[in-house]
C-alpha cells in the first residue's frame, strides 16, 4: 500500500506514525491499514522481529490525537466517538 494513500485515510496527527511505519517496513509488506476503534489498525506480512514494532505503532496511535498528534482523550462529537486532545476538540466545537 502506498504511503501517501495510507496518510490520506487519517488525520494529520497520525502522519509521524505512518512515516515511522513506512521507514521500517516495505510498502509491499503492508496489506491494509485503516482507522478502527480510535487507532491505526494494521494488516501486514511480518516477520517475528517486526511483530513488536507493528504492535507498538498500533498502541502508540491509541494515545495520539488524530488532528495534531498530541496526547488525546475520547470525545463525543454529536454521537461520534473521536480521539482528540482538548484543544482540537474545542476548536471543532467552536467552528
Domain 3-94 sits in CATH at 3.30.1360
What 3-state DSSP class applies to 43? strand
Does 73 have pLDDT greater than 80?
no
C-alpha to C-alpha distance for 87 and 95, rounded to whole angstroms: 13
Q: What residues are paired with 30 via a beta bridge?
A: 44
For residue 63, give the DSSP letter.
T
C-alpha to C-alpha distance for 40 and 66, rounded to whole angstroms: 10
More confident of the two residues 77 and 35: 35
Counting every residue written for the chain, the total comes to 95
Domain locations along the chain: 3-94
Among 77, 71, 81, 79, CA closest to 93: 77
What is the pTM for the complete model shown?
Answer: 0.82
Q: Which H or E run includes 87?
A: helix 86-94
Percent of the chain with pLDDT over 70: 99
Q: What is the mean pLDDT of residues 43-55?
A: 83
Amino acid at each position: 500500500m502506498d504511503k501517501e494513500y495510507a496518510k490520506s485515510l487519517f488525520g494529520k496527527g497520525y502522519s509521524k506514525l505512518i512515516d515511522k511505519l513506512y521507514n521500517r517496513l516495505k510498502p509491499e509488506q503492508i496489506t491494509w491499514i485503516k482507522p478502527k476503534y480510535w487507532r491505526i489498525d494494521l494488516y501486514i506480512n511480518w516477520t517475528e522481529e517486526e511483530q513488536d514494532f507493528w504492535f507498538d505503532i498500533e498502541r502508540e496511535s491509541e494515545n495520539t490525537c488524530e488532528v495534531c498528534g498530541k496526547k488525546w482523550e475520547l470525545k463525543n462529537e454529536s454521537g461520534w466517538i473521536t480521539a482528540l486532545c482538548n484543544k482540537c476538540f474545542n476548536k471543532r466545537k467552536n467552528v
